[in-house]
Amino acid sequence: MCGLAGLALRQGETPSVAVLDALARALAHRGPDGGGHHVSGSVALAHTRLAIIDLVTGDQPLFAGPAALVANGEIYNYVELREANRLACATGSDCEPPLHLWRRDGLAFADSLRGMYALALHDRAARQVVLARDPFGIKPLYMAEVPGGIAFASEPQALLAAGLVRPRVRPEARAELLQVQFTTGAETIFEGICRVLPGETVAIADGAVVERRRRPALPEGGPEEIGEEAALARLDAALEESVALHQRSDVPYGLFLSGGVDSAAVLAMMARLNERPVLAFTAGFDIPGVADERPAAAEAARAAGARHVTVAVDEAMVWRHLPEIVARMDDPAADYAIIPTWFLGRAARAHGVKVVLSGEGGDEIFGGYGRYRAAMRPWWLGGKAPRAHGSFDRLDVLRAPLAAWRDGIAAAEAAAATPGRTRLMAAQALDVADWLPNDLLAKLDRCLMAHGVEGRTPLLDPGVAAAAFRLPDALKVRGHAGKWLLRQWVARHLPAVEPHRPKQGFTVPVGAWIAGVGARLGPLVAAQPGVAEIAKPDRVAALFRHAAEKRAGFAAWHLLFYALWHRRHVEGRREEGDVFAVLAAR
């Protein structure tokens, strides 16, 4: 896990050293262990390193003949790539094989990579810069047209900090953010900054994009014919291979353990593969009436022989650190799970851990969300499309209706419904296209990189996807329970977690916290420039006073997030202090 940035300009243009330095400084938190750069003609690459594999010779940029590369993430099958292709690598870095594969295969070089990665390479002989991102979009990469060519970086805030793009908000993306807590598609919330899409390889020549390729995350086709026992055996093999690959590291690693099935499956496999006890971290909230995952996680850890660390998150901690947490979400996702994730990342680093595995992706790959079961039913039996309603529907808080906020989701729905896929598969594919990379994985990336910790997701792996996505619907959803096959696997290998108990949705008590200070917090949020532009001040204040109600609390949280985010990333304010001090600053 690192940071990368660069400039790919037209022939005759000279990259600015000051701009390159500004990009690197803005990404320093992603790579506290070192940095490097490559400048050749009209192209410049910058890298900040978090050293995980090949601590001695793995500094970047990496070079092979006329090609140079910088990368963020891990290529888990680097050993197999070196051996199978007889690559003459000069280092032990997992990121060197892509360089040699590029020289042999051209733009198809990424097809055999198994991992989480965003990378940029410059081939002087081919006069090309190539950007590539892993199929699930685990690692971020952004680009922007700038005077003279194209700039790119691991985070949008680096492009803003370097003065390459002005921080102007796209109203369409703002509407998405407020209604569904994340944004969709290639365009970000910032005018002029786009995502390199998950699985995309982009070729740039003479300062312009000349070719794009896309590698899918999920296998094509409809459900396959397979029985439960055969499916369980195949899943076991896929999980073992994936977790083994995801544990490749030259530094200590651990696990984020919730009270659910996904991380329990990863824990069970890690316990099988490791001689030493797994170090597991769980967050919980000390507030009455809120489901606490720590007891269930503790039971799972005990059964697996893991060493268990719990992190108690209370209201005072949240108000003190929330401005800092939101500041990390430059590509915004108003997911309240950023709060425990940030504190878990801090705890992991305090315990000397630089790599953590997690269960992200389990719901999407195995069919776990309740909205999937609704999507499976026809409309006359109560079925409905995912995210058919937004957080601000019928609340009368905003100055004008949020028009066209669902257009991006509708476009993704059409793309997900490929021939042969069931309603369930299409709903899963929809989430994999946008919700997963632009919310869950963005949250994991930013909140962990804030502490110099790398997050790994073994359930988001080509082998696991091949074993699970095309399962018959009945092996994913049975009755009122999702993730049937994964639950069956966990029942055999870690039964102490009681995998067939009803799914307990993960919640963060933001509504209760906001309600307790709503009379004070509401007017502060209403007065923020970003909020005042779109919302009625008196209705905002009323919303915060009623935040104990579920819908009001959720909408209030979105406005609080947006107020803090707008101050930092649009207004450019970098105040220190708790939520109240920051919002009161003039």
Q: Nearest 10 degrees: CA dihedral of 92, 93, 98, 99?
A: -80
* CATH 3.40.50.620 holds for 228-368+440-497: yes
Give the 3-state secondary structure percentages of the chain, helix then strand then coil, rounded to 5.
Answer: 45, 20, 40
Q: How many helices (H) and strands (E) does the chain have?
A: 23, 17
> Tell me, what amino acid is at 545?
R
Positions of E strands within 49-107 = 62-64, 67-75
Taking 50 as the pLDDT cut, the residues of the chain under it are none
Q: Which of 2, 89, 95, 447 is catalytic?
A: 2
C-alpha pair distances (Å), 343 with each of 26, 28, 283, 318, 442: 22, 20, 8, 9, 16
The Cα–Cα gap between 265 and 459 comes to: 9
- Say which residue the tokens 């993306």 belong to: 173
How many CA atoms does the CB half-sphere of 51 hold within 13 Å? 14
Residue-wise DSSP of 136-205 = T--S--EEEEETTEEEEESSHHHHHHTTSS---B-HHHHHHHHHHSS--SSB-SBTT-EEPPTTEEEEEE
Whole-number pLDDT of residue 236: 98
The Cα–Cα gap between 295 and 301 comes to: 10
Instruction: Give the residue from 139, 164, 106, 150 showing the smallest Cα distance to 30.
Output: 139
- In tens, the pLDDT along 23-59 reads 999 999 998 888 999 999 999 999 999 888 877 778 8
The Cα–Cα gap between 338 and 448 comes to: 10
Whole-number pLDDT of residue 505: 59
Q: Is 234 exposed, middle or buried (0-12, 13-18, 19+ CB in 10 A)?
A: middle
Look up 2 and say whether it is catalytic.
Answer: yes
Backbone φ and ψ for 25, nearest 5 degrees, come out as: -60, -40
* Residue 61, preceding peptide bond in cis (omega within 30° of 0): yes
Cβ pair 331, 155 in contact under 8 A: yes
Locate 238 and state its tokens: 């896929």
Domain spans in the chain, listed from the N-terminal domain onward:
3-214, 228-368+440-497, 510-584
Whole-number pLDDT of residue 479: 87
C-alpha pair distances (Å), 300 with each of 253, 330, 482, 494, 538: 18, 35, 20, 7, 48
**What CATH class has 3-214?**
alpha beta
